[in-house]
A and B are shown apart, each in its own frame.
Chain A
C-alpha cells in the first residue's frame, strides 16, 4: 500500500508547520490581550487560507480544487464569537469577512505561483470567494429570526446551540451550491453545462458537504478554542483530501498498467510497434471533439490500447499486424477473443463492450439499428487509419481516400470527418 509520506510533499509540510506555528503564537497573544485581538484573528485566517491553498485536490480527470481553503473561507463567514467574554466579535461585519477572504486568496495565489509554479486562474478562485460572500450575507445580515440575523441570535441560543449549527448549515448549503455551480461552469470546457454537471455532481456534492461541515466545525470550535480551531478543526478535511488524492492516484496507476501491458502485442510481434498507443492517442482526440465526458474518454483510451489484445489467441501473427486487411469473420473472432480476455478482469466490462463493437460495420447501425457504442465506432475508424498510415504523415492522403470509399457502409461519417479534421496538416499534425 502506498504510504502517506509519498504524497505529502515538502511545500505542503512547510505550509502546515507555518500555519500551526502562527496559530499557536496568535493563541498565546490572544489570551494575553483579548480586547485587541481582531487583527490577530483575521491575520490567522489570511495565513490559513493562504497556506491551505497549497493543499490542492485533483478529482475526475484533473479538476483542481482547494477544499480546505474553501472550508476556512466559509468558516470565516460563519465565525464571530471568540472564547474570551470581554473581547470583540471577530470578524464583525461582512466587509471584514470579504476583505480577509480576498487577501487570503491573493496570498494563496501568490504562494501557489511561487512554490507550485502555478499560473493564477482568477475565474476559478472567484467561485469560493462568491460562496463566502453568500454565506456571510445569509448568516450575518439577513434578519431571519424575529428581526435579527442568526449571528445575533448566537448568545440567545446558548442552551440550544444546535440552532446556530442549523442556521450555519442553511447558509453553508447555499454557499456549497454556489461553489458547485461556479466550478462546473469553469471546468466545463467544450461540454454543455448539463453534461459536466451530471458527471461531477455526485462526488462534488459530497465533497462540498464535507467542506461546509468542516466550516461549521471551525466556526463553532472557535468559540472554545479561539484561532486554534482553524488548524485543529480542519484536520478531518485534510485527512479526507489525502484519501481522495490517493484514490485518484490509484485509479491513475491502473490506467498506467493497462498502457504498459497493452504493449505486449507490439513486443510479441503481433502488431507494428507503437500501434496501440497511436490508436489510443488518435481516438482520444476524436473523442474530445465529440465532447465525450472524461470518464468516457478514459474508457475509450483503455479500449483503444487493448483493441488488438485478442490477436494473442492467433497461432501466428498476421503479416504486418494490420487487422484492416483481414476477413470480417476473422476480425470478429479477434475482437471477441479480446473482449473475452478483458472481461476476465471482471472490472473492465465497459472496455470489453467497446472492443467487441469495434468491428461492427456502420451500415448495421443504420439498417438494423444495432446499438453500437460511439467509442467502438471511433476505434474502428482510428484503427483503420492507423493500419494504413503507421504514424507516417505522408500516407495520410491515401489513407483518407481509402477510408472515404467505405464511408457510411463501413465507417461512421461523423467520426471520419472529425478524424480528417484532427489529422489535418498543421502545427498539431499527428502529434
Chain B
C-alpha cells in the first residue's frame, strides 16, 4: 500500500476532528437545534460571498472575509451545527479551483472552525436565538461576550490548522505561523465577531429576519470594494516605482535591470529569514530604490576619482531624494546603510555588526551576489561570499542565501540584452561596478588611510 503523505494525514485528522465535534453537538444540550430557514439563507449567502470574493483582486489578509462574518452570525442564530454548515458552504464555491487535498483540508477546517466556535459559545453560557426578548444588558452578557470568546477560539483553530499544514509541507515551524497569523488577522477576526453579533441582534431580537442582509450589506460591500481598490493601487504603486527606476537605470549598461534582480533575490533571502509581511514590503522597496543615488553625477577632473566619489555618496544622495516619500520609512534606513560592512569598514557611517539595520545587511549580500554570479558563476560566488561572511557580510544572511543559492542564481541571471551590454562595457573598461567586493575593499582601504 502506498504511503499516505503527511499533508493528507493532517487533512484526514481534521476531518475526524470535525466529525467528532459534530457528534459532540448531539451530546451537549441546546447544541443541535437548527433553524432550517436561517441556515439556508446564511449558507446561500456564504456561497455568494465567496464567489464574489474570488473575482476581486485581493490578497487573503487585505480584504474582509464576509464568510467569517456569516459563520459568526450563525453561532448565536442556529448554534454550532448551523455554524459548521455555513463554514462548509463557504468553501463549496472554491472546489473546482482546488485540488482534492486542498478541498478536503479547507472543508474540514472551516467546518471545524464553525462547530468548535459554536461549542465554545455554548460553554460560555451563550444564548441561542429563539425569539424570546431580553433586556439590552442581558443581550450583551449572553451573546456579545460569549461570541467574542468563540471568535478567539475560532481564530486559534484556524491558525493552528494552517500552521500544522504549513509545517508538514516543509514551511516554518507551527509557532511562527500561528503567531504571524494571529498578529495579521487577529484584529479583523474580532471585528467579524462584533459584526456577526449585530447581524444576529437585528435578525432575531429586532425581528427583522432575512431582511437583515440588506441592512448590513452596503457598508461591508463598500469596505470590501475599498480593500480591492487598495490592493490594485498598491500593485500600481509597485509598478510605477519599478518601471521609473528601470528607465533611469537603463542608461548605465552595468546596472541595467540590476535593481529588479536584486529585489527578487532579497525576497528569497527575506523569506528564508522569516521576515514579516511589513518587513518584506520594506525590503522590496528598498531593493528597488537602493541605487537611485547613483544617477547624480559628481563633477571632478579625474574621472576615476569622481566615479569613486559618486559611489561613496550614492547612499546618502538616494536618501536625500527619497526622504519626501512617507511610506518608505524603514526602507530609507536600509538604503542609507546598504554598503556598510559587518567589520565596520563600510560607508557612509561605518556601522558594524548588529548596528547595521537587518534589511541593509540582506541588501548588501543580495547586491554583491547579483553583481558576481553572472560574471564568475555560482560556486565561485558562494565561495567568495562565505569567505567574506563575518568580515564584509552578516554570516546569517550569507547562510540564508546559500540555502537558496540555485534559485537565487536563476533570479540573478542576465537576459540576452543585459549580457551584451555587460560584455561591451567590460570591453570598454569604462564602467566600474560598485557592487563588486573589490570595490568595497578599495573604499574600505581608502578610508583606513584617511
Residues of A at under 8 Å CB distance from B?
1-4, 27-28, 30-31, 83-84, 158-159, 161-162, 165, 206-207, 209-210, 212-214, 216-217, 220-221, 223-228, 232-233, 235-237, 239-240, 243-244, 246-247, 250-251, 253-254, 256-261, 263-264, 267-269, 306, 309, 312-313, 341-342, 344-348
Q: Are B295 and A267 in contact (CB under 8 A)?
A: yes
Distance, CA A337 to CA B80, complexed state (A):
62
Q: Which residue of chain B lies nearest to A81 when distances are taken between CB atoms in the complex?
A: B206
Q: Which residue of chain A lies nearest to B241 when distances are taken between CB atoms in the complex?
A: A257
Distance, CA A254 to CA B244, complexed state (A):
12
Distance, CA A253 to CA B140, complexed state (A):
41
Which one of B10-18, B228-236, B334-342, B399-407 contacts A? B228-236
Q: Are B216 and A236 in contact (CB under 8 A)?
A: yes
Q: Which residue of chain A lies nearest to B63 when distances are taken between CB atoms in the complex?
A: A243
* Residue B56 interfacial (CB < 8 Å): no
Q: Are A210 and B218 in contact (CB under 8 A)?
A: yes
Nearest chain A CB to B225 CB, angstrom units: 8
Q: Are B322 and A260 in contact (CB under 8 A)?
A: yes
- Give the contacts of B288-314 with A (CB-CB under 8 A): 292, 295-297
Q: Are B218 and A209 in contact (CB under 8 A)?
A: yes
Q: Are A225 and B207 in contact (CB under 8 A)?
A: no
Secondary structure type dominating chain B contacts: helix
Distance, CA A162 to CA B213, complexed state (A):
11
Residues of B at under 8 Å CB distance from A?
61-62, 64, 133-137, 139-140, 144, 187, 191, 194-195, 197-198, 201-202, 205-209, 211, 214-220, 222-223, 225-227, 229-230, 233-234, 236-237, 239-241, 243-248, 250-251, 277-278, 281, 292, 295-297, 317, 321-322, 324-327
Q: Are A312 and B237 in contact (CB under 8 A)?
A: no
Q: Given A224-B201, A243-B226, A257-B240, check contact A217 B195 (CB 8 Å).
A: no
Q: Which residue of chain B lies nearest to A233 when distances are taken between CB atoms in the complex?
A: B198
Q: A1-B61, A224-B139, A312-B248 are in contact. List 5 more A-B contacts (CB 8 A).
A: A220-B202, A232-B197, A257-B325, A261-B292, A348-B240
Q: Given A162-B209, A225-B136, A250-B234, check contact A239 B191 (CB 8 Å).
A: yes
Distance, CA A239 to CA B198, complexed state (A):
14
Distance, CA A256 to CA B323, complexed state (A):
11
Q: Are B295 and A217 in contact (CB under 8 A)?
A: no
Q: Are B317 and A267 in contact (CB under 8 A)?
A: yes
Q: Given A267-B317, A268-B295, check contact A253 B325 (CB 8 Å).
A: yes
Distance, CA A269 to CA B299, complexed state (A):
11
A and B contact pairs by CB, cutoff 8 A, 15 listed: A1-B234, A206-B222, A210-B222, A213-B218, A214-B219, A225-B136, A228-B136, A228-B140, A235-B194, A236-B195, A240-B220, A257-B325, A267-B317, A268-B295, A313-B250
Distance, CA A223 to CA B202, complexed state (A):
10
Q: Are A223 and B241 in contact (CB under 8 A)?
A: no
- Contact partners of B205 in chain A: CB under 8 A: 223-225
Q: Are B277 and A239 in contact (CB under 8 A)?
A: no
Q: Which residue of chain B lies nearest to A351 when distances are taken between CB atoms in the complex?
A: B240
Q: Are B295 and A161 in contact (CB under 8 A)?
A: no
Q: Are A268 and B202 in contact (CB under 8 A)?
A: no
Q: Given A235-B195, A239-B223, A264-B248, check contact A213 B240 (CB 8 Å).
A: no
- Contact partners of B202 in chain A: CB under 8 A: 217, 220-221
Q: Are B206 and A161 in contact (CB under 8 A)?
A: yes
Q: Are A251 and B325 in contact (CB under 8 A)?
A: no
Q: Are A1 and B194 in contact (CB under 8 A)?
A: no
Q: Given A4-B187, A250-B234, A264-B292, check contact A165 B215 (CB 8 Å).
A: yes
- Contact partners of A260 in chain B: CB under 8 A: 321-322, 324-325
Distance, CA A232 to CA B324, complexed state (A):
39
Distance, CA A236 to CA B215, complexed state (A):
11
- Contact partners of B326 in chain A: CB under 8 A: 253, 256
- Contact partners of A224 in chain B: CB under 8 A: 133-134, 136, 139, 201, 205-206
Q: Are B191 and A261 in contact (CB under 8 A)?
A: no
Q: Are B223 and A263 in contact (CB under 8 A)?
A: no
Nearest chain A CB to B103 CB, angstrom units: 29
Distance, CA A254 to CA B140, complexed state (A):
43
